[in-house]
Amino acid sequence: MERADGPARPQLRKARARGDPAVSFPWLDPEAAPPMLFPTFDYLLFLLPVLVVFRAIADRPVARVLWLLGASYFFYMAGPKTTPLPTPWYFIGLLGFSTALDFVCGHQIHRLAAVARRADPGLARSARRTRRGYFIASLLGNLGLLGYFKYTDFFVATATDVAGALGLSWATPSLPVILPLGISFYTFQSLSYTIDIWRGRLAPEPSFTKFALFVTFFPQLVAGPIVRASELLPQLRVRPRLTAERMEQGLFRIFKGLFKKVILGDWIAGHFTDAVFTNPDAYTSPEIMLGLYAFTVQLYADFSGYSDIAIGTARLLGFDIPENFDRPYQARNLGEFWRRWHITLSTWLRDYLFFPLGGSRGGAARTYFNLWLTMFLVGMWHYKTGTSWNFVIYANIHGLAMLFNRWNRTRDRGLAVSKKMVRWGASAAVLGVVCGAVAHWVIGLPPPVSAGLGGVAAVTFVLVTLLPVTNTPLNTALHIGLTFHFTVLSRVFFRAPDFATARKICGRLLSWDGRFIRPDLLPTELWVALIFGLVYHWTPKRWVDTGAWNAFRRIPGVVQGVLLALLALVLMRILDGSPKAFVYFQF
């Protein structure tokens, strides 16, 4: 923002007249917050004193908890400064509200459980009713905040679209809701605490400060991994394990994450993928497909890189938080993909939604519904403001594909060939018609292109069904290739900034324009980064987690320090002072 005595003065006067708090009260201006992204010098200046002081007071239980709690609140209020700007620092009140709500509800749910088992039926009935009320208060308080701040835009846009389709006049209300940073993560994390107490699987934490630190622990506060109370609270009650080996492990994970984030994430995004999704008309069909491959590398590098840095930072402090990725693009089917991608979210929804709904214990129809609903919510969890129907389509694509995955895994493979041909042919025809209809009536593609998409879907269905379940190298490669390309193509709706752009990209991909990738499209070093990102991901996990780690730990400490400093310098030069926010900050 320019100075008030410059050209911006009229705009400032208008903003003050509107009552904009960021202008009327400058200390509320979110732009005044310093950047606090992981790959920045500011984060290093924050982390070093936190580590030094924490290690100095490690033997003082109260002091170390209060120190980390204060550091976590400072980290949240200090940024990050991104474009568009994040929520103002005073939204920390929402984090405090969720913490206090679940701390109180958890204690009351646990206390009333004993009363509900008493012999007096009237007293027990009243206790059960009150206990249920506290549980509902926790659910409504957390999910209500999440629903309002994250999905108000979606519900308003949906109502507008439905009204327009029905020919009704609808004045779209203006509700400029800001998404609080990390709300999708800390609400799930805090809510799991009360759910586990409700189920009798967890005793409430007696210390409010320890519980508050569990909710706000800064390494994973704003973008995960989603940590459960049973995983972190026990570690907060004992002296952290501070050893030289764990320090080395933490540094190794941090710099691995920084390399992913800066080289394979920010660099690829800034030089290619952002431009493709901003203006797809400027690119040929093969170039847009290349952009999808590049975004696939970028997204994994960005989010898994963040998780690596979070896990590494926690390890420097003596704590262990769960892994969030396990080479997801090596998955042989979609079910395995979601067991490897954003693991803490997938397992959270499995344990707190799929299993409570009945899981696979009911009939086939109930099982398929439970699976679809869980996967639909996994997709919709990723919804971001302004994308309209993108994530409804994305969620349903993955939800229905998971139903097919389960059917293909559990079906009777001993059917006669004639029955297989009839059933598979009918199923493929139905799938082709449905996909073609959706492509035409929902996405808006022309009839020939829609029919072609339906045909591709039908052929893919038959191909995947015909593939045998074996562990031969060729069969495994085919399954991995099909699963990988399914995730790549579905990410049109994940990355496109709005529904109109997603439709345009789908049309460009499916309507071959007769052109190829231009030789001067990308510089050589970017091609190297793209190819390295894909090849690196498909290498055996032990090459990095065991081989590279063992090589790193054998290097003398002084040399380690020099190498890490040089890497940091290279990354800072590449960033050129403008690191990108992590992709999952917007969720």
CA–CA distance, 328 with 300 (Å, rounded to integer): 9
Confirm whether 398 is a catalytic residue. no
CA distances to 437, 441, 469, 511 from 69, in Å: 53, 52, 50, 54
Options 382, 398, 440, 479, the catalytic residue: 382
For 97, the 3-state DSSP assignment is helix
* Two structure tokens written together for 151: 């999905």
Tell me if 109 sits within 8 A of 139, measured CB to CB: no
Diameter over CA atoms, the chain: 83
CA distances to 14, 350, 492, 524 from 519, in Å: 50, 46, 24, 10
Per-residue HEC secondary structure of 231-256 comes to HHHHHHCCCCCCCHHHHHHHHHHHHH
- From the number of C-beta atoms within 10 Å of its C-beta (0-12, 13-18, 19+), residue 71 rates as buried
Q: Measured at the alpha carbon of residue 88, what is the angle toward residues 86 and 93, in degrees to the nearest 5?
A: 120
Distance of CA 256 to the CA centre of its chain: 19
Distance of CA 308 to the CA centre of its chain: 14
- Give the amino acid at 249: Q
- Eight-state DSSP code of residue 355: T
Q: Which of 271, 305, 277 is nearest to 292 (CA)?
A: 277
For 342, the 3-state DSSP assignment is coil
- From the number of C-beta atoms within 10 Å of its C-beta (0-12, 13-18, 19+), residue 578 rates as exposed
CA–CA distance, 111 with 197 (Å, rounded to integer): 10
What's the length of the chain? 587
Per-residue HEC secondary structure of 459-478 comes to HHHHHHHHCCCCCCHHHHHH
* Two structure tokens written together for 303: 């989010």
Query: What is the distance between the terminal CA atoms of the chain, rounded to a whole angstrom?
Result: 26
Tell me if 145 sits within 8 A of 183, measured CB to CB: yes
- From the number of C-beta atoms within 10 Å of its C-beta (0-12, 13-18, 19+), residue 338 rates as buried
CA distances to 76, 189, 227, 232 from 107, in Å: 26, 17, 20, 18
CA–CA distance, 377 with 356 (Å, rounded to integer): 15
CA–CA distance, 27 with 50 (Å, rounded to integer): 25
Active-site residue list = 382
